[in-house]
Every structure is written in structure tokens, then in C-alpha cells.
């Protein structure tokens, strides 16, 4: 039976609960009971309901609007991020649908969930030149595979990236530097003793070069690596395409990373490589910026260098790893080597994408998600 029919069957009952909730002010109670009224195919609502309740401070104050968002599969932040006045809610990939997308790559996603494994997979498939130099792995502060200890390597290279084998949203990513006198951890000075003590607590981290980003983006914001997030989809006919791309840009709020979830900016990259206006979300407030809010540098209209080459390479790589049909690639454009593939993800946060335009407005994207049983 279609989902819409299910929902119609329980609408009156849930609306009664909404009225009770208005009087008693218990969102968790109403969501729990409303969830119980849905048939078993929608049991995944349990985790979604908990997430919804955790974000309730970001939800609209009107209880009916809260219910409609929950019913349609959107978390509270989507109320502010997405333009429901201009676009139908059905044109957006919902937060529940985004969870379903984790299943697209099946068992093959193990190659992506471990960043070290994906690095080696791309290298073995012929894309080593597009990867950051890999020095080894850190286990309880001991560097394995390099032939030297972490401090000798840092003294020689000057700066390194230490990244967890697993992790997302900029978490478990650290940048360490040595300028010949002082040591720095994520931009903050730290004594060698304290740095050594902290590194000794890290277990299961890969160590790579810190890629020097291109002038076009360092002029906008030089204090973080600023990466492109590109989503590729590979249908059953093995003809991959780029669904959408955005440029993440760090801010003073996001500190050492460029992640949208930590206060960074998202600027859509057009088909020609031109950046649009950038958006930032913080505490239920969405703000748009044609120039960087901290540096004042122009963002809108800036062209990403080598855009055509980047797209061709990513599509080629996607075709050469057909077992991974859905990927969110993180790419940094460099001055010296053109560009580097920092990593890929088996799923992608879609809020930094859809804040610009709903994904499901594109028929090719919509067909892919439908074929993969996401929607």
C-alpha cells in the first residue's frame, strides 16, 4: 500500500495527538505515539524521531508545522535551509531518504568507510597521481610504514594532515605544523611535549601531505583547506554522471576545517565552474554571501580552475570503480599538481547541496534514486 494511503489512514488519530501535545507541550510523547501508528515498513522512523526530538530547539514553534515536517521526513533544520515557498517538498531528497542512500553501495561501501582502504583502492585503479602523498599510519602515536617517527617527518615536511581511518563532517581530522621553532595543532601553538602526548592517544589514523590550495581559493579564505564536494551517480548502465557540486569554504567559525555543519560556507559550482553566492547556516539562521563574511573577498562569479579536467577525471574514476555507484567526492584544487582527491564518502550530507536547489528537480537524479530504491 502506498505511503500516502498509510498516512491518510492515521491522519485523524495523529492530529488528535497533536492537539493533546499543544496542551501538554510534550513533543517526544506525541512523536512516539504517532510513530507507533505507522505500519512496520516505516519502522526506520524510530531513529529519525529521536534525531527530530534532539533538534527540536530548531523546529518551528507551531505544532502543526512540526508534525508536517516529521510526517514528510524532514529534520527541523530543513525548515530553515530549504525554500519550501518556491519548491515543493517532494522535489527535495528528505532526511529519511538520505539515510536510505547509505544502502546504495551495499557491502562495497566498506572500501569507502575506511579512508585508508579507499586511498589504496584509487591508487590501485590508476589514480595515484591525483591523491595526496601518503606517509603511513599512526597507532598510539607510532608512525607505521614511513621509516621515520612522526616528529622527524614533521620536521622534514613542515606540515602534515592526520586523519582517522573512519570519520566524517570534519571530525578526526587534524593539521599539525612545525615552522622550525614552534609546533601548531589545528592552527594553535602547542608545546612538543603536549603534542606528543596528544598524538600518542591517536589510534588508527593515516598521515598524508597537506595539499597547498590554489591561489583562487586561498585569496578568498587562506586559513583552512577549502574543498569541492561533488556527488557522482553511476546507474546500472555504468554511465556515471555528476549530480551536483558545491565549494565548501572555511570561516572563522569553522576553525581549521571548511565543513558546512561546523559553520563553513557552501557555494554552488555551476556547469562552467563558476561559483554562485555562498550560504551559511547557524542557529536557525540562513545567510547568503556574495563575498566572504570574514575576509571580504569576492566569492560569486569566481571560476574554479581546471574545472573540465576535474569533472572528466572524477567521472573516469567513478566508471573505474563501478561497485561504488554513489559517492560524495572531496577535491582540493592545488597550484602545483592541478587537483587532489582528498577522499570520498559512501553518502553525502545533502543539506549543503539542496540549500541551493532541490536534488529531485533533476529527472536523471530522481530516476537514479528511484532505481536504487531510495525514494
Cα 78-81-86 angle, rounded to 5 deg: 100
- The answer for residues whose C-beta is within 8 angstroms of residue 56's C-beta and 6 or more apart is 27, 66, 76
- pLDDT tens digit sequence for 188-224: 899 999 999 999 999 999 999 999 999 999 999 999 8
What integer pLDDT is reported at residue 218 of this predicted model? 95
Do 346 and 272 fall within a single domain?
Answer: yes
What integer pLDDT is reported at residue 41 of this predicted model? 42
Q: Which three cell numbers stand for residue 135?
A: 606517509
Do 224 and 202 fall within a single domain?
Answer: no
Decide if 88 is inside a domain: no
* Residue 37 exposure: Cα atoms within 13 Å on the Cβ side: 19
| Residue that finishes a domain, picked among 209, 231, 249 | 209
Do 170 and 313 fall within a single domain?
Answer: no
- The answer for residues whose C-beta is within 8 angstroms of residue 175's C-beta and 6 or more apart is 159, 160, 161, 162, 184, 185, 186, 187, 210, 225, 256
What integer pLDDT is reported at residue 259 of this predicted model? 81
Decide if 152 is inside a domain: yes
- Please indicate whether residue 78 or residue 261 has the higher confidence score (pLDDT): 78
Do 118 and 7 fall within a single domain?
Answer: no
Residue 206: in which H helix or E strand, if any?
A: strand 203-209
Decide if 96 is inside a domain: no
* Average pLDDT taken over every residue of the chain: 86
Do 268 and 366 fall within a single domain?
Answer: yes
Percent of the chain with pLDDT over 90: 61
Decide if 97 is inside a domain: no
Do 189 and 227 fall within a single domain?
Answer: no
Residue 110: strand, helix, or coil: helix
What integer pLDDT is reported at residue 169 of this predicted model? 57
Cα dihedral 129/130/135/141 (nearest 10): -170
Question: In this model, does residue 265 exceed pLDDT 90?
Answer: yes
What integer pLDDT is reported at residue 12 of this predicted model? 53
Do 361 and 305 fall within a single domain?
Answer: yes
- One DSSP character per residue, 250-301 reads --TTTTT---GGGT-EEEEEPTTSBEEEEEEEETTEEEEESB-TTT--B-TT
Do 226 and 335 fall within a single domain?
Answer: yes
What integer pLDDT is reported at residue 335 of this predicted model? 83
Q: How many CB atoms lie within 10 A of CB 347?
A: 21
Residue 47: in which H helix or E strand, if any?
A: helix 45-54
What integer pLDDT is reported at residue 40 of this predicted model? 40
Do 312 and 272 fall within a single domain?
Answer: yes
Percent of the chain with pLDDT over 70: 86
Structural domain range at position 159? 134-209
pTM, full prediction: 0.84
Do 279 and 302 fall within a single domain?
Answer: yes
Question: In this model, does residue 2 exceed pLDDT 70?
Answer: no
> Is the Cα torsion angle 182, 164, 77, 36 positive or negative in sign?
negative
CB 260 within 8 A of CB 228: no
Do 166 and 119 fall within a single domain?
Answer: no
- Please indicate whether residue 40 or residue 331 has the higher confidence score (pLDDT): 331
Average pLDDT, integer, range 154-178: 86
Decide if 318 is inside a domain: yes
- pLDDT tens digit sequence for 108-147: 888 888 999 999 999 999 999 999 999 999 998 889 987 7
Question: In this model, does residue 19 exceed pLDDT 70?
Answer: no
| Residue that finishes a domain, picked among 191, 209, 227 | 209
Residue 21: in which H helix or E strand, if any?
A: helix 3-24
> Is the Cα torsion angle 211, 215, 216, 219 positive or negative in sign?
positive
What integer pLDDT is reported at residue 262 of this predicted model? 82
Decide if 98 is inside a domain: no
Beginning with the edge strand found earlier in the chain, give each strand of the sheet holding 183-185 in spatial order. Answer: 142-144, 134-139, 203-209, 159-164, 173-178, 183-185, 188-190
Tally of domains in the chain: 3
CB 116 within 8 A of CB 123: no
Measure the CA–CA gap between 190 and 182, rounded to whole angstroms. 8
Decide if 90 is inside a domain: no
| Residue that finishes a domain, picked among 176, 193, 209 | 209
Question: In this model, does residue 170 exceed pLDDT 60?
Answer: no
Question: In this model, does residue 102 exceed pLDDT 50?
Answer: yes
Decide if 77 is inside a domain: no
Highest mean pLDDT pick, 59-63, 160-164, 165-169, 354-358? 354-358
CATH number for the domain harbouring residue 343? 3.30.470.20
Do 172 and 122 fall within a single domain?
Answer: no
In which band, very low, low, confident or very high, does the pLDDT at 343 lie, cut at 50, 70 and 90?
very high
Amino acid at each position: 500500500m502506498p505511503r500516502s494511503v498509510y498516512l491518510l489512514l492515521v491522519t485523524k488519530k495523529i492530529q488528535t495527538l497533536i492537539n493533546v501535545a499543544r496542551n501538554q507541550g510534550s513533543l517526544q510523547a506525541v512523536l512516539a505515539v504517532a510513530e507507533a501508528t505507522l505500519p512496520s515498513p516505516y519502522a526506520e522512523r524510530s531513529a529519525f524521531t529521536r534525531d527530530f526530538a534532539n533538534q527540536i530547539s530548531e523546529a518551528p514553534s507551531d505544532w502543526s508545522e512540526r508534525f508536517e515536517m516529521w510526517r514528510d521526513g524532514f529534520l527541523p533544520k530543513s525548515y530553515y535551509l530549504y525554500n519550501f515557498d518556491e519548491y515543493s517538498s517532494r522535489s527535495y531528497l528528505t532526511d529519511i531518504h538520505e539515510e536510505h542512500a547509505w544502502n546504495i553501495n551495499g557491502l562495497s561501501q566498506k572500501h569507502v568507510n575506511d579512508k585508508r582502504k579507499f586511498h589504496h583502492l584509487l591508487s590501485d585503479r590508476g589514480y595515484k597521481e591525483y591523491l595526496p602523498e601518503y606517509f603511513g599510519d599512526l597507532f598510539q602515536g607510532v608512525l607505521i610504514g614511513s621509516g621515520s617517527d612522526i616528529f622527524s617527518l614533521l620536521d622534514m615536511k613542515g606540515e602534515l594532515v592526520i586523519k582517522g581511518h573512519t570519520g566524517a563532517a570534519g571530525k578526526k581530522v587534524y593539521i599539525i605544523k612545525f615552522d622550525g621553532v614552534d609546533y601548531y595543532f589545528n592552527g594553535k601553538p602547542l608545546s612538543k611535549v603536549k603534542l606528543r602526548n596528544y598524538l600518542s592517544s591517536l589510534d588508527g589514523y593515516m598521515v598524508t601531505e597537506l595539499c597547498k590550495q590554489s591561489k583562487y581559493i586561498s585569496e578568498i579564505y587562506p586559513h583552512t583547506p577549502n574543498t569541492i564536494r561533488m556527488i557522482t551517480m553511476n546507474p546500472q548502465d555504468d554511465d556515471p554522471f555528476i549530480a551536483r557540486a558545491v565549494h565548501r569554504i572555511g570561516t572563522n567559525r569553522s576553525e581549521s576545517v571548511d565543513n558546512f555543519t561546523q559553520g563553513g560556507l557552501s557555494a554552488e559550482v555551476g556547469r562552467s565552474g563558476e561559483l554562485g553566492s555562498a550560504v551559511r547556516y547557524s542557529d536557525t539562521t540562513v545567510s547568503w554571501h556574495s563575498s566572504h563574511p570574514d575576509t571580504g573577498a569576492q566569492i560569486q562569479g569566481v571560476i574554479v580552475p581546471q574545472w573540465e579536467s576535474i569533472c572528466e577525471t572524477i567521472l573516469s574514476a567513478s566508471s573505474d570503480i563501478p561497485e561504488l555507484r554513489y559517492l560524495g567526492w572531496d577535491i582540493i584544487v592545488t597550484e602545483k599538481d592541478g587537483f587532489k582527491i582528498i577522499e570520498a564518502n559512501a553518502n553525502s550530507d545533502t543539506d549543503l547541496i539542496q540549500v541551493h536547489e532541490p536534488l529531485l528537480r533533476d529527472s536523471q537524479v530522481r530516476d537514479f534514486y528511484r532505481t536504487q530504491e531510495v525514494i
